[in-house]
Copies of this chain bind each other. A is one copy, B any other.
């Protein structure tokens, strides 16, 4: 892990830094909250499973009592099923996720839209069903004051995780609905390679569609499990300067999440990981000063 930008002996914690819970995924929610606060981080990105483990009201009380902002809830989505019962179940689950996001005090529900249904090769059909499912959820999202934050995943996950693969594609869907109901996630790990990235960030920002900016590095060689192929900013190949500048120029002033899926990170003590996140962020993510 990287060096640090220090003020005296202390690394300055950027007021817009948010620790995504997946980065310390083995920590139960109470521990994750404690670690985040102890690291001086003002915001946390939550996941539904650890929230469910303690119960929604207790989870909401925990983060509120700690004075943390909740930058987003991960995750809804998985809405590519064609079979009617499976489709209904997915929509119902997304409605629960919308309600959970509202209860937790975040306006952003991250959607990982899902891959091809088992045995299907109909990519265009799966993509159409994603669009249609989002359309069905928009009234629920508007009523709850929660935004559906469509996350394009790296194209290497197109078959089995998310048929939305680029920022342009996510925006093509989001723009069919009000900006308060549908936005996009810019996660550097997933989109850094895109020749059209800076233009699409500008497009997203001009329409107020950036729901979340997540920073995470691309490391090589890819590990055996490509779901864990992520590094802290500075550990890999991504130049965070131009992307972050584009996100800022596009008008985004919200929290910036560090979300890293990496076995070595998960195996490290949580407080060490939080400290490394703070250092990595201070050194590699050139945000303007100021709170969200």
Binary contact track A144-158/B, C-beta < 8 Å → 1, others 0: 000000000011101
A166-B154 contact, Cβ under 8 Å, with A222-B226, A239-B121 = no
User: Taking the nearest CB of chain B, how far is it from the CB of A116, in angstroms?
Assistant: 6
Contact check, B166 vs A195: say whether CB atoms are below 8 A apart. Answer: yes
User: Taking the nearest CB of chain B, how far is it from the CB of A33, in angstroms?
Assistant: 34
User: Taking the nearest CB of chain B, how far is it from the CB of A172, in angstroms?
Assistant: 8
Contact check, B194 vs A155: say whether CB atoms are below 8 A apart. Answer: yes
Contact check, A127 vs B195: say whether CB atoms are below 8 A apart. Answer: yes
Q: Is A123's beta carbon under 8 Å from chain B? A: yes
Which residues on the B side are within 8 Å of A238 (C-beta)? 121
A224–B121 Cα distance when bound, in Å, is 23
User: Taking the nearest CB of chain B, how far is it from the CB of A121, in angstroms?
Assistant: 4
Contact check, A123 vs B165: say whether CB atoms are below 8 A apart. Answer: no
Contact check, B123 vs A193: say whether CB atoms are below 8 A apart. Answer: yes
Which residues on the B side are within 8 Å of A160 (C-beta)? 220-221
Interface residues on A, range: 20 to 34
Those of A120-141 within 8 Å (CB) of chain B? 121-124, 127
Contact check, B226 vs A159: say whether CB atoms are below 8 A apart. Answer: no
Q: Is A270's beta carbon under 8 Å from chain B? A: no
A222–B154 Cα distance when bound, in Å, is 14
Question: Which of B166, B169, B226, B237 interacts with A121 by CB under 8 Å?
Answer: B237
Which residues on the B side are within 8 Å of A154 (C-beta)? 155-156
Q: Is A218's beta carbon under 8 Å from chain B? A: yes
Q: Is A73's beta carbon under 8 Å from chain B? A: no
Q: Is A242's beta carbon under 8 Å from chain B? A: yes
Contact check, A218 vs B159: say whether CB atoms are below 8 A apart. Answer: yes
List of 3 A-B pairs having minimum Cβ-Cβ separation, nearest first? A158-B193, A224-B224, A121-B239
Q: List 30 A-B contacts (CB under 8 A).
A: A116-B237, A121-B238, A122-B239, A123-B192, A123-B193, A123-B239, A127-B195, A154-B156, A155-B193, A155-B194, A156-B222, A158-B192, A158-B193, A158-B218, A159-B193, A159-B218, A159-B220, A159-B236, A159-B237, A160-B220, A165-B193, A165-B194, A165-B195, A166-B194, A166-B195, A168-B196, A169-B195, A172-B195, A224-B224, A226-B226
